[in-house]
Structure 1
Amino acid sequence: MPDKPIEVRKDGTSRPAERSWVPEVPVALEYNGLSYAVMMATPSDLEDFARGFALTEGLAKAPSDISDIAIAEVEHGWIARAQLTGLGIDKLTERVRARVAESSCGLCGIENLEAVSQPLPRVPTHSAVDPQAIFAALAKLREHQPLTRETGAAHAAAFCAPDGAIMHAREDVGRHNAMDKLVGALAAAGQDASAGFILSSARCSYEIVEKAVRAGATRLVTISLPTSMAVERAKAAGLSLWCLARDDSVLCVNDGAA
């Protein structure tokens, strides 16, 4: 096996290539001493990850419900621990109990389908997105993506002011993780997610829409096209959704502005 990757060209020549790999490790998320999930993630900004994951999963209703976040590197990965209070902890105990009881009977599948179809809260009344602000944010996004510049293999989620200035940005190997990290960063900073728009470098799946809505965002912009379910969920929640963002064009999928 070669010590370095080999770049093979169409003309038949080859040469050693210098490449850096995006870090990907197991990260266990524990709340109130209960193991909730193990995610494959990039081990950076893990406090934001634990905080944002709790908020977007509905385990916490507000940032004040989350405390005592502790991050530890262990033999096979990382553990992020936190304490939760408030009504959201009911979902934590229900999920842990359901996971222990899951079997091949099919009931857990029915429950998961019902969970996916639960209505999202309506987003607050908001003004329209300025397309020029989207173009301005896109022009600056790469400056906030050091991991992407190094590896070319990370997703980013950024919070942008109404004029497109990037206020916060987070990266991860997983698009959902990048969004959770951003939500956690906004919560830690006391930043109202409805005061600007979220820009995601990822494909717009329904989970990205749901995480944005649960974080209190009113406007979401993504680099790629949405899925049909993402469009349905955005329209039902009143989320302004802009996709296929490029440096010279962007597609308005749903204008939820009042």
Structure 2
Amino acid sequence: MVFELPPSASRAEVLRVRAGELRPAVTDWLAEEVPIAFEVNGLSHAIMLASPIDLEDYALGFALTEGLIDRVDDLLDIEVEPAEIGITLQLRVTLRCFMRMKERRRVLAGRTGCGLCGKDSLKEAVQAPKPLISSTGLDGSENLYLSKAALQKAQTELLARQSLQRQTGAVHAAAWCDGEGAVQWVREDVGRHNALDKVIGARASGLAEDEVSTAGFMLITSRASFEMVHKAVTARVPVLAAMSAPTALAVRMADQAGLTLLGFVRSGDMVVYTHAHRIDTGCEHHGAGKDSTWT
């Protein structure tokens, strides 16, 4: 039997109460979330819940940020296979990446307990990725100096391009923006991590190998958790701007990795948590140092 991809949203008849008054039944839209199974060279890897859209971008972004591949060329093929109760993403990667993944699975299987127990496992779980600035020089991220106007422009454009959010009110979004605040790619998903993976995948597949991929910033509608910072740094993103708050662990990782982390980015306001040298706040006391926190 051949199955089609499910829609990103479905109709539902609902009752609404407004100002204490029951209104007549109306048609509303609900965001779909679907089990997505990742298989790498035929080997089951993970199952996620996600919106069933932009799945090729999701596969590439997930593979990059989870360390399944090192670069775009390591992902040789993607097949999207809808089934009755979900979708399987069949990823075919290079032999080098596949053997590394199998070795890591073998090591985890040999440990006692859940596989994340013990000092070595915990250290691996919160280990910061490679810093944005290499010891041999700049990687492009120091060429960025963002203004408040650029951040506000990006937020306005992102909100205007959240079509699934307007329809359902139930999804997150992530956008890659250039240094002037123009939105280049937007992706939406019921999961904030999925939305970020999708836009990372879209950005990676849309860039030539010789382009400076760090000359811009990522804007997300959610909070900035440890995982979101980890994914951003892994994808060589110099600035992560969140419309909500970060966690303490996210701030520590951002500082260690050289990522500029912003929170509460709303209508020109922001809180700068780490590496403020990439942000023109328009304030007199700008330049207080990378460890300063400004509002």
Counterpart of 1:65 in structure 2 is 74
Separation in 2, partners of 1:107, 1:167? 39
For each residue in 1:79-126, what CA deviation from the matched residue of structure 2 results, as whole angstroms up to 9, or x when unmatched?
A: 1111112654344214443565676x3553225412223232111341
Aligned position for 1:108: 116
Match among 190, 195, 198 for residue 173 of structure 1: 190
Q: Do 2:128 and 2:230's aligned partners in 1 also have CA atoms closer than 8 Å?
A: no
Task: Pick the aligned partner of 1:239 from 228, 247, 259.
Answer: 259
Where does 1:1-258 land on structure 2 (aligned, <5 Å)?
Answer: 4-85=13-94, 87-97=96-106, 105=113, 108-110=116-118, 111-124=120-133, 125=138, 126=142, 127-190=144-207, 192-255=212-275, 257=277
Measured after TM superposition, the shift of residue 146 of structure 1 is 1.0
Cα displacement (A) at 1:12 = 4.2
- Comparing 194-203 with 110-119, which one deviates more in the overlay? 110-119
Post-superposition CA distance 1:42-91 (Å, at most 9, x none): 11111111111010001111111111111110121101111112654344
Q: Could you list the runs of 4 or more consecutive aligned residues of structure 1 that deviate by over 4 angstroms after TM superposition?
A: 98-103
Q: Summarize the Cα distance change of 1:87–1:237 in structure 2 as closer, same or farther, 3 Å threshold.
A: farther
**Corresponding residue SS for 2:199:** helix
TM-score scaled by length of structure 2: 0.80
Asked if the contact 1:156–1:200 (Cα under 8 Å) also holds between the matched residues in 2, the reply is yes
The change in CA–CA distance for 1:106 and 1:158 in structure 2 (over 3 A counts) is: closer
CA-atom RMSD in angstroms: 2.1
Of structures 1 and 2, the one scoring higher in RCO (CA 8 A, sep 6+) is: 1
After TM superposition, the score normalised by the length of structure 1 is 0.91
Higher alpha-carbon deviation: 222-231 or 87-96: 87-96
Q: Work out which of the two has the higher radius of gyration on C-alpha atoms and give 1 or 2.
A: 2
SS in structure 2 opposite 1:194?
coil
> For the residues of structure 2 that align with 1:257 and 1:84, how far apart are their CA atoms?
38
1:98 to 1:4, Cα distance in 2 relative to 1, 3 A: farther
What is the SS of the residue equivalent to 1:40? strand
CA drift of 1:168 comes to: 0.6
Task: Check whether the contact 1:36–1:92 (CA below 8 A) recurs between aligned residues.
Answer: no
Quote how far apart the aligned CAs of 1:257 are.
3.9
Please tell me the residue identity of whatever aligns with 1:199: L
Residues in 2 aligned to 1:33 and 1:52: alpha-carbon distance in whole angstroms: 19
**Counterpart contact for 2:145–2:179, Cα < 8 Å:** no
Gaps of 5+ in 2: 1-11, 279-295
5+ residue gaps, structure 1? none
* C-alpha distance in 1 between matches for 2:102 and 2:129: 21
Distance 1:173 1:149, change over 3 A: same
Q: Give secondary structure in 2 for the equivalent of 1:48.
A: helix
**Contact residue 60 and residue 86 of structure 1 kept, 8 A:** no
Contact 2:175 2:184 in 1 (8 A): yes
Alpha-carbon distance in 2 for matches of 1:123, 1:113: 23
Distance 1:244 1:90 in 2: 42
Q: Which has the higher helix share?
A: 1
**Cα distance in 2 between the residues matched to 1:187 and 1:159:** 11
Name the amino acid aligned to 1:184. Answer: G
